[in-house]
Structure 1
Amino acid sequence: MTTTVLKPRAVESVVAGLATRDGAGVKLTRVLTQNLQRRLDPFLMLDAFGSDQADDYIAGFPDHPHRGFETVTYMLEGRMRHRDSAGNEGLLQTGGMQWMTAGRGVIHSELPEQVEGRMEGFQFWLNLPARDKMCPAWYRDVAAREIPEWAGPGQRVRVLAGAHAGVVGAVQREATEPLLLDVHLEPGACFERELPVHHNAFVYVYRGGTQFPSGCTVPAQRMAILRNDAGADGVQLRAGEGGARLLLVAGAPLNEPIAQHGPFVMNTEAELVQAVRDFRSGRFVQP
């Protein structure tokens, strides 16, 4: 393959994530935890969930509020129903994505529509710039067939957001410029992608394993945070003997204060206090 990345980024650290439960008891791994929010700005959170046992997911995520950021849910396998206080409803199914802008406030639920079988996927929290935190709520379902794909030697790339090799993804955002790629690699296949040096970036391997040019090996269920080295122009990696499936995630940092209280992410403590007041007074239920 033609090499376009001349100085690949090194791996800064490899993160295992924190096993926990959220919602009404859904079992998951919090890969991007709150202590990494500044380092991986504009991404606030990444949860990975996956189980064949219905008791691990069946209770789902009943009604709960959000303000000040966006949620991106990507389903590898399973069925989950979304409903929110802005009047939106959608069914997230295998291979699909849901993108919700909480903006000034929304209450939503995410509940499984299956009682057996595997449910597996990811949810990202993507920050909004201060100027947009009080924008109207917004929601979009993206079915599996609507997610653009690119294929190369030994690789297939699903472009969830941003663009890759001329293929424009399902969603674009001007302020944070998110790049979300689901990369499928055959055994020994190489993958590379140019990245702006100032963008924060990480790789989450969810099947198989990968090796970076430095020799760093990243197994499944691990996140590799990529260094922001001066002059580094992208990422290069090679799949292991069993192949690999991974997420490449990158974005432009907002470099703004982050104030979080549970499901509210603002810029100041005063804004958080107001968010709680608005939620309790019923202001999140307006379309």
Structure 2
Amino acid sequence: MAENRKIRKVFKSKPTIEGAGVHLRRVFGNSEVPLFDPFLLLDDFRNTDPRRYIKGFPWHPHRGIETITYVLRGDVEHGDSMGNKGVITSGDMQWMTAGSGIIHQEMPRGDDDGAMEGFQLWANLPKLHKMMDPRYRDIKSTQVPEVVTKSGARVKVICGVVEGKQGPVTDIVIDPEYLDVTVPAMSEFVHKTRRGHTVLAYVISGNGVFCNEKNPFAYDAEGVNYFDMERDPYIHNGTAVLFGDGDQVTVSAQDKPVRFLLISGKPIGEPVAWYGPIVMNTEEELQTAFEEYRDGTFIKYGRRSS
């Protein structure tokens, strides 16, 4: 019999400022290492005021990780040291493997109403792949299959397989899944997960009951109890659930739909040395990376776009 995963911990996203002044909400980050291994960071950059995001993320380096940007609404302009340029818009995603080193910029532009909605996830790379050649994947919304389950849940399959439909992102080191799931009111969604993999969900609309747990305790990013869910059994918009191990995840919607990102990956289990946009295994490797960035030898593959 399949074992349901249980809630291990719940995290409420918290406001922070990154880049050149982008106001966003951080779901988890440096202080949660290695809790979410192989994932390092999840940011929610939904905003309706262009002044709070328009300065974006100008040219900056990455090494040793992958950055995954998913846009729900608005436009994000992209450029990188391999010469890639373009715009991802509503429903699009970019999966960028920094590997040995890439310099890029991401500039949110919003839509005609000034709204900008999206998320950025950082995934770690194991030591064996830290210095792999960088690569950039631009995934259009039209490439993403959508599955409607027997219970009526709608699942956009970005990475992974749902009911025989495979997402367009494949050949990723950490063997991830990335699903955008909407469960209609008074319905239940059950999804099989791989034993030993880290699995998390981030609610982006509505609220739901996860793992059939009516009174879990929720924690903020520092692990401090911020409310007792005995009086409120729902996981709400802007809240992440980290699951314990098991064979499947169960999510129920009550009087209104719930939409969430369901993300999983194989843990790496290696030391993490992390400063700013670079994540390596040792402090010496970090120092080398920043020295190379300063002296102009950081890029090992490709060229910086003009």
- TM-score between the two structures when normalised by the length of structure 1: 0.94
Shift of 1:160: 1.1
4+ residue runs of structure 1 moved beyond 6 angstroms?
A: none
Instruction: Provide the aligned length of Structure 1 versus Structure 2.
Output: 280
Aligned residue among 20, 45, 50 for 1:49: 45
> Counterpart in 2 of 1:125?
122
**What CA deviation, in whole Å up to 9, does each residue of 1:28-50 have, x standing for no partner?**
11102212231111101100111
What is the CA distance between 1:158 and its match in structure 2?
0.6
Indicate conservation of the 8 Å contact 1:195/1:235, yes or no.
yes
1:58 — aligned with what?
54
Unaligned 5+ residue runs, structure 2? 216-233
Of the structure 1 ranges 159-168 and 98-107, higher mean CA displacement relative to structure 2 is found in 159-168
Is 1:101 the counterpart of 2:97? The answer is yes
Match runs of 1:139-154 below 5 Å: 139-152=136-149, 153-154=151-152
Query: Does 2:67 match 1:71?
Result: yes
Q: For 1:73-105, what per-residue CA distance to the aligned partner results, in whole angstroms no more than 9, with x for missing partners?
A: 000001011001111112110000001011111
Aligned 8 A contact 1:54 1:116 in 2:
no
- In the alignment, residue 143 of structure 1 is paired with which amino acid? K
1:87 lines up with 2:101 in the alignment? no
Distance 1:191 1:6 in 2: 15
**2:294 alignment partner in structure 1:** 280
When the two chains are superposed, the root-mean-square deviation of aligned CA atoms in Å is 1.4
Q: Which secondary structure state, in structure 1, belongs to the residue aligned with residue 42 of structure 2?
A: strand
The answer for the alignment partner of 2:156 in structure 1 is 158
Query: For 1:6 and 1:127, how far apart are their aligned partners in 2?
Result: 29
**SS of the residue 1:278 aligns to:** helix
Structure 2: distance between partners of 1:179 and 1:193:
11
Q: Distance in 2 between matches of 1:83 and 1:144?
A: 20
Q: Percent identity?
A: 40
Q: Report the Cα distance in structure 2 between the residues aligned to 1:177 and 1:235, rounded to whole angstroms.
A: 18
CA distance in 2, matches of 1:33, 1:134: 22
Correspondence for 2:176: 178
> Structure 1 CA distance, aligned partners of 2:12 and 2:109?
29
1:198-237 equivalence runs, <5 A: 198-212=196-210, 213-216=212-215, 217-228=234-245, 232-237=246-251
Report the Cα distance in structure 1 between the residues aligned to 2:194 and 2:82, rounded to whole angstroms.
36
**AA partner of residue 203 (structure 2):** V
Asked if structure 2 preserves the Cα contact closer than 8 Å seen for 1:208 and 1:240, the reply is: no
Give the match's secondary structure for 1:277: helix
- Find the aligned partners of 2:86 and 2:33 in 1 and give their Cα distance: 29
SS state at 1:113 partner: strand
Structure 1 unpaired stretches of 5+: none
Please say if 1:257 is aligned against 2:254.
no
Contact 2:180/2:259 (8 A) holds in 1: yes
1:196 to 185, 194, 197: 194
Normalised TM-score (structure 2): 0.88
